[in-house]
Structure 1
Amino acid sequence: MKVEVWSDIACPFCYIGKRKFETALQQFGQSEEVEVEFKSFELDPNAPKGSSMKTYEMLAKKYGMSLEQAKATSENVALQASAVGLEFHFDKTVLTNTRDAHRLIHFADAKDKSKEMKERLLKAYFTDGVDVGDHDVLVRLAEETGLDGEEAALMLSDGSYRAEVERDEAEARELNITGVPFFVFNRKYAVSGAQNPDHFLDVLNQVYEEEKGKPAFKMMNNQSKTEYCSGDNCGEEE
């Protein structure tokens, strides 16, 4: 079984959803038969690198709320992250462009390190509060993941893997993916949002047991609410 996951580094529900899916995968009896591939999705392709604006200020400006309301909203998301063992520090996050981080994941994939690189980048953004758009930072994170720093630096400087990022995003458009995280199973079934582990487990079991020749692509029934990010907006949908 192949599971393709479209997500962005700067998407809080992508990190939460990733951890919930991993919890389900640990409980799935045939987990060794599941191949997980991370796909690029930029919530804001035009975002500047290393913005000086803080997350609370950005949220307040975007949604017309006070800084106190923006902080409360962020704290609610942080609580959801804590429930799955993650530590979010929105007061430290550096708003930035994530394209180079996505390129780095593709570079890592060529070295069989994409899962480790994806996890390290998400932690860097939401927990450590570092600028994942800065090349020096990305090289350091690559080295921490076991990749060659000089190779990573050369890749970042020469523009490698841009085509792979653009290909992923073109595929997302073909599949009408407008929000992330978005999980596609065997290019037949899809689940959107940071669903609970039991829902992911149900889907894994159903897909595994499905006979071949079923409809080419369909959405699996989601729960009543789901958390996801679309464009530069993140929230909960009924």
Structure 2
Amino acid sequence: MIIDVFSDPICPWCFIGKRRMEKALELNGLTGRVTVRWRAFQLNPSMPPEGMDRADYLALKFGGGERATEIYDMIGVAGKGVGIPFEFDRIARTPNTIKAHRLIRFAGRSDLDGAVAEMLFQRYFLEGKDIGDNNVLCEIAGACGLDREETRVWLAGNGEDEEVRKEHDFAVSMNIDGVPCFIVESRYAVVGAQEPEAFGPVFDLVREEERQAAGP
């Protein structure tokens, strides 16, 4: 079974959704038996390459810090429910995530894309690191088992840049206008950070189709 996860590393609901998907796999006896492919989606595709000051971003997106606090308090409660202690106050910059997505694709060559996706979430939401910064991305790469200097050279170029942008555009063409979005076997979608139980009927449907295809 293959699950394509359209996600953005600066999306807190994507972090929550990852945890809920993992729980769903556990509940359905599928842990370690599913191929998860991380797909690029940018919440802010027009973000300047250097990112933005967090306060400026919150003012632009939410009209100010007060409204942002209300929203993030709600997300924080959801995060605690899946073991994520969000530290939104530690975030100083909102990055452009094109390099983070490129790093995920680069890591995929070594089957480390899942590890890198997890570490990007952790560094950003738990430590407030700027995951648009090459030094931070190289540290993440090294922590996940990639060669740091090879990663630094990779990030200095533009490898996979066009592919990331095309993947985002493809998601938009599929009417994906928010993330996370989980596409199971290229046919069935679980939209949003739904509870683990939401995945069950989809998994059951796919397994039944597989049984029928296998024949008597």
Q: TM-score, normalized by length of structure 2?
A: 0.90
Task: Report SS of the residue matched to 1:37.
Answer: strand
* Equivalence for 2:157: 158
CA shift, 1:148, in A, is 0.1
Q: Deviations over 1:7-66 (max 9, x none)?
A: 101111111111100101112224443211000001111212242233xx63344333x5
Residue 53 of structure 2 corresponds to which residue in structure 1? 52
Q: Which has the higher helix share?
A: 2
Equivalence for 1:20: 20
Q: Give me the whole-angstrom Cα distance separating, in 2, the residues matched to 1:76 and 1:31.
A: 29
User: In the alignment, what sits opposite 2:8?
Assistant: 8
State the SS of the aligned residue for 1:86. Answer: coil
Pairwise mapping of residues 76-155 of structure 1 onto structure 2 (< 5 A)? 76-93=74-91, 94-155=93-154
Contact 1:125 1:131 (C-alpha < 8 Å) held by counterparts: yes
Q: Distance in 1 between matches of 2:80 and 2:203?
A: 25
Q: Distance in 2 between matches of 1:9 and 1:31?
A: 22
* C-alpha RMSD over aligned residues: 2.0
Aligned to 1:73: 71
Please give the alpha-carbon distance, in whole angstroms, between the structure 1 residues aligned to 2:202 and 2:140: 33
Separation in structure 2 between the aligned mates of residue 61 and residue 33 of structure 1, nearest angstrom:
42
Q: How many Å separate the matches in 2 of 1:46 and 1:68?
A: 24
Q: Quick one: distance in 1 between partners of 2:60 and 2:39?
A: 30
Matches within 5 A, 1:155-194: 155-194=154-193
TM-score (norm 1): 0.82
CA–CA separation in structure 2 for the residues paired with 1:201 and 1:194: 14
Structure 2: any 5+ residue segments left out of the alignment? none
Report how far residue 73 of structure 1 moved. 2.0
Share of identical aligned residues, percent? 39
